[in-house]
Each structure stands twice: as C-alpha cells, then as structure tokens.
Amino acid sequence: MDRSLKWRLFALFMSCLLCAGAVLPTFLERDQLPSWFPFSKKIQLGLDLQGGLHIVYSIDLDKAIDDKASEIRRDLESRFADEKTAATVKTPSSPLGAVVVTLTDPAKREAALSAIQADYGGDTVSYDCAADQPPGSICFRVSSEYADGIKRAALTNAVTTIRERINEKGVAEPTVVEKGDEIVVELPGLDKAAIQETRDIIARTAKLEFKVVDNNSEYMKRLYAHVGSEGKEGKPTEPRAIELEIQAEIDQWRPEDGSGLQTDYFLLAHDREEWLTLDEAKANNCLNKDNKEKIENGKVKCLVSGRRRIELYLFGDKKLNIKGLVEIDPTFKLPDDRQIGYEFNEPTPEAKDRRNFWRTYYLDRAVRLTGSGISDAMGSYDPNTNRPIVLLDFNRHGSRVFGDLTAEIVGKKLATILDDKVKSAPIINGAIRGGRASITMGGSDASRMEKERNELVNVLKTGSLPAPLHEESSSEVGPTLGRDAIEKTRLSFGLGIALVIIIMVGIYRWSGWISVFGVAFHISLMLAVMAVFGATLTLPGIAALVLSVGMLVDGNILIYERIRDELTLGKSVRGAIDLGFSRAFSAILDGQLTTAAAGWVLMQYGSGPIKGFAVMLLVGVFTTLVTNLWVSRIFLDWYVSRKKGTLATISI
C-alpha cells in the first residue's frame, strides 16, 4: 500500500467520524452528549415530516377601519385649514368608522356637505347624528361595503407581512393562511426557544412614528412642581408620588445654534416588585401559570413596570377604581393635542440603582412621519459607542418630510416611537437632509441588543402590520404527511435502497459494494452538512436527496462502464481504473455543475418548498462530486493494492 493511499484512507476514516459526529446531536438528546462535544446543532424536520405548532391569530380589523376614519379626519382638517373655515372634525369611537364635522358658521354647512359628498361619497354613508353631538353637525361613516374592502385588504396585507417576516427570520417552510377573519400560522419543529422568538416577531405591530417633544411646556413645569423634588436625594414630596416611587426630573441643554436654554421636565419610575391582589395582578398582565401556585394571602408577587405606575399616578385605573391626578385635580387635564410618551431604560454602569426604569416625554400628539416613509432598514454599529443601531433609509417622501421637520424644530427633541414606546429622543441640532435616521439599541447585554436589533430590522423591513394581532389559540399538529404515511414512506425507502443494492451488486459484483458504501457515505455527508447548518429537512428536500442519490449512482455506473471498456480493450487493471476515472470525470463534473447552476438559481429566486429543494440539491452536488471522484477511487485503489503482483482482472 503506498503512502498516498494510506493518507487518503485515513482522511476518509476521519471524514466518516466527522459525519457521524455532526449527525449525532440530531438523534440524541442534548444531555446525552458530553459537554466537550463539538457539534450541537440538529437537523430540524419540517411541518410535513414532523409537524409543529399551529397558532391562530385574530386580527383587530376594526382598527383598520378606525385608521381610515382618522385618515379622512386629517384630510378634512387640512382642507378646512386651507379654506380658512372654522370647523372641528372628530372621530367618535361609535359607530365604527364614523366622522363628525361641526362647523362654527352654520351657513357653510351646505358647502361642506357637498364637498364631503363629492370626495368621500363613494366610500361613506351619512347617518343621523347621535343626540350628544352639537346640532348642525355632519355625521357620516365608512360604508359597510367599503369597510369590507378595507378588512379584506388588511387581512391580505397582514398575511403577506407575516410571511415575509418569517422568511426573513429564516424559518424553513412555515404555513401562513387566512381562515375567515383570522390567520393561521404553522411553525415547524417544537424547539420552544426558537418558536418563541418567531412568535415575538410575528405579533409585533411595528408601528413607527416620529413625534416632536414639547419641552419648556407649562404643563410639565407645573407637574414637576406638583410632584416635587425637594426630598432627600431629589425624592418627591407629594404623598401619592412617594407611595408609587415616582421622581420628577429635569433635563436642560443649550442648543448649538445659540438660542435660549431648553428645559425638559419629566417623570421617572423604576420597575419594582410588589405584592398585588389578584385583580391588580390581572390588570398588570402578570397572572400566569408560573405564579398561580405562589399565591399568598390572596396576593401575588409581580414586577410592576415604572410605566404602569406613572400611568396609575396620572390617569388612574377605572377597573380598579383608582383615581389619577387628572381626575383629582382637573387643572392637570392633558390638553387634547398633547400626550405622554414612555421610554424604557436600563441603568447606566455608574448608576447606584440597578433596576430598569421608565421616563416620560411630553409629546405633540400629531404624527409627523410614519413607517411608510421608510424604504429600507439595516443593522449596523454606532461608530462612536459601538452600540448596535438600526439605520433607516427614508424614501423620497419620507426624506423630504424628515428634512423639513428637523429644520423646523432645531434645538428641540424628536421622539422616535415604536409600538407605543419611545425608542429614542435625540436633540435636533440642525436640519437632517440625508434621508437617513438611526435607532440606537438600549441595554447592557451586547448579544441581547444585537438580537433585538436584528428583530427590529426584520419588522421594519417587512413593514408594519395593518392592525394588531392577538394569539387566539395554539395547538400541536402532527406531520402534514400523516403519521401512517411516514411509516409507509420509511418502508418504501428501505425497499428502494435494497433494490439499488441488488442492482448494483448484481451487475458490478464487488465494485457494486463500493457504490453501496458510496451511497451510505453520500447520504450521511448530506445529513452532516445539514446538521452543521441546523437546516430544516422537508419533503422537497428529500426529493432533492433522492435526485442526488440517483445522480451519484449514475456517476458510479459511468465510471464502471468506462473501466470495463478499458479492460476489454486489454488495459491493465491499474491503467483501466486510471483511465476510467479520468474519462468519466468530465461527464460527472459537467452534469453536476449544470445541476448546481440550476440549483443556485432556484435558491436565489424561489421561495418556500422550492428553496428547500434547491438548498438540498446544492449540498447534494457537493457530496456527489466528493463521493464519486474521491471516495470510490480510494476503494478501488485499495482493492487493487491489497492484491500483490499484477492483477489480471477485477470484480467489476
């Protein structure tokens, strides 16, 4: 046996070990493997082979109709402003999709009515105003037919968005279908952590808004004084604030353009653990399976967020019969065009208090720019702090609005609000006209920030959901193929492989066994590659596997036929093997490269099952080439080298 053959046999043996090692985690539980074991990823099985989780989402379609009414309101308001007509436009919560216009000058009613008729007549119907509306109001609502259309569009839009989000996440071949007014999502596999991550992404509304922070406001100044900060270490003086552990803080800065001092008053509260009664716990969304057993004296331990306590302090809770400041002292009633925004913070490394906290922003209610102004989002790092950030590219409309907006509010803060939470509120030092903005991730754990960043990029890229989703139910589903069908398929696979063995060994005798070993090696190499990448195996993937096994056997037949030809022509055994491989080489290579070209295109442009097929096919091209040109050769060489002297013939 020559040296090179020894080395090749050794390398083959090592590759077999590696394959076995890579595939092992798929068949064993994690704790059955020693901790030093280098491989941990498993081959996931798709919905069709293993089943997964079946989740039903309901979608708040009324919200979509509400949004339409709000859109009409904004339209009308700007029109009345342009015409200098004094009017108020309201969108009462009932009936659904209603808009009520009240004109200060009754003489203009007819003109307004006909204008509304002309613009919205097709999509709306008028109705008799309720008694509590001012006399002379114009009441109309989104028509039932149009509402049906909006609902339809919102549902389709939501399905598409969810599909894109899951694909972006890289979950292989999920199912997303409409079911009446609901959406059914099926996620393959039952790995709890992975499924939870995907669920988080699916249900995120991802509503992005930009609003201006109203600093120097009289309201916040009074609130600051009311809560008080004269206690020890700036602690509040007002009893309710002390009880709820709410602080009043102040933030001051001088804008770079040299204009006057800006002051931002705000409230701040840390998250804290409290013993709550069951009703309170329910209102806090903290009553769940985990702490149901830990009820003591009718109370449960809950983490109450700072936001929740500030909300309690200001607005109370009707269900729990707690009055907020706005009711106790009507002078603190929030103006109609203002709102309170909340920002979540983690403590800075220097802070003594290690708890997370929330702070408020006093916001102008008007939405200045939404996520529809974004053309793309990508993950990056802040060059100065090295924190993960999301870069937002504005489209033309967004870029113009953002430029004008920042020019208008130089020296003030602009709040970026995502799903009802202020993400950041930087001070604007000058007009930003580059068409780009960024959101910086907060927190101290780098890997978590990065994960959150990637999630955010995903949801911003795929756009916001038209309306919030609620998870209605979830159940486990078995393989789509059916349990019985999988049993039968296994049987047919076994029979098929037996048949290949019979044919190959029957015709090529000893060399046939080399092919059989080749097929086994090829399949385990394919599985190993899949396991290393943690890929998902589905029925289309198995189809690709069958195809590549077919091509592998084809390659073997090509080589053997060539060797036979050479032997018939009177070549020596060694010479025939050399020539056989080199002659068959171009056919095998070209066949596989054409397949690879096709597979690559299918992977680039295909989606769902087509992508699953293509990935497996590409893996198969690689393993077919390795097995045919390297493994088979090693065995034939080995076979020849075992026999001393010159061989007259071989079993082929």
Q: Which of residues 103-132 bind other proteins (CB under 8 A)?
A: 125, 127
Per-residue CA distances from 638 to 214, 452, 632 (Å): 82, 55, 10
**Rounded CA gap, 75 and 90, in Å?**
12
Q: Which of residues 600-639 bind other proteins (CB under 8 A)?
A: 600-602, 604-610, 612-613, 617
539 binds other proteins (CB under 8 A): yes
- Is 592 in contact with 624 (CB distance < 8 Å)? yes
Site string for other proteins, 241-280 (x = CB under 8 A): ----------------------------------------
Interface region with other proteins, contact rule CB under 8 A, candidates 139-147, 291-299, 434-442, 462-470: 139-147
By CB under 8 A, how many residues form the interface with other proteins? 100
Q: Which two tokens stand for residue 287?
A: 């009553």
Q: Which two tokens stand for residue 512?
A: 């046939």
Residue 266's closest CA among 219, 303, 300? 219
| Residue 471: φ, ψ to 5° | -80, 120
Task: Give the nearer residue to other proteins in terms of CB position, either 246 or 551.
Answer: 551
**Rounded CA gap, 415 and 209, in Å?**
8
Per-residue CA distances from 329 to 309, 314, 333, 369, 645 (Å): 18, 10, 8, 34, 108
Tell me the closest approach of the beta carbon of residue 94 to other proteins, in angstroms: 6
Given 503, 629, 640, 647, the residue binding other proteins (CB under 8 A): 503
Tell me the closest approach of the beta carbon of residue 474 to other proteins, in angstroms: 8
595 binds other proteins (CB under 8 A): yes
The dihedral built from the CA positions of residue 414, 378, 359 and 232, taken in this order, carries a sign that is negative
Given 194, 557, 640, 647, the residue binding other proteins (CB under 8 A): 557
Given 104, 160, 285, 395, the residue binding other proteins (CB under 8 A): 160
**Rounded CA gap, 92 and 140, in Å?**
11
Q: Which of residues 344-373 bind other proteins (CB under 8 A)?
A: none
| Residue 579: CB atoms within 10 Å | 17
- Is 223 in contact with 342 (CB distance < 8 Å)? no
318 binds other proteins (CB under 8 A): no
178 binds other proteins (CB under 8 A): yes
B/e letters for 412-435, b = 16+ CB within 10 Å, e = fewer, are bbbbbbbeeebbbbebbeeebeeb
Interface region with other proteins, contact rule CB under 8 A, candidates 28-36, 137-145, 308-316, 365-373: 137-145
Q: Which of residues 36-55 bind other proteins (CB under 8 A)?
A: 48, 51, 54
Tell me the closest approach of the beta carbon of residue 152 to other proteins, in angstroms: 11
Q: Which two tokens stand for residue 127?
A: 């109705």
Given 180, 239, 260, 645, the residue binding other proteins (CB under 8 A): 180
Q: Which of residues 391-410 bind other proteins (CB under 8 A)?
A: none
Amino acid at 9: L
Task: Give the nearer residue to other proteins in terms of CB position, either 373 or 599.
Answer: 599
520 binds other proteins (CB under 8 A): no
641 binds other proteins (CB under 8 A): no
Tell me the closest approach of the beta carbon of residue 395 to other proteins, in angstroms: 22
Task: Give the nearer residue to other proteins in terms of CB position, either 403 or 608.
Answer: 608
Tell me the closest approach of the beta carbon of residue 607 to other proteins, in angstroms: 5
Task: Give the nearer residue to other proteins in terms of CB position, either 185 or 389.
Answer: 185
646 binds other proteins (CB under 8 A): no
Helices (H), 289-342: 289-292, 306-315, 325-328
Given 495, 510, 533, 643, the residue binding other proteins (CB under 8 A): 495
Task: Give the nearer residue to other proteins in terms of CB position, either 317 or 561.
Answer: 561
Interface region with other proteins, contact rule CB under 8 A, candidates 260-268, 307-315, 328-336, 580-588: 580-588
Give me the count of residues in the chain: 652
SS3 127: coil
| Residue 350: CB atoms within 10 Å | 5
SS3 37: coil
**Rounded CA gap, 257 and 188, in Å?**
56
Q: Which two tokens stand for residue 308?
A: 């929740």
Tell me the closest approach of the beta carbon of residue 88 to other proteins, in angstroms: 20
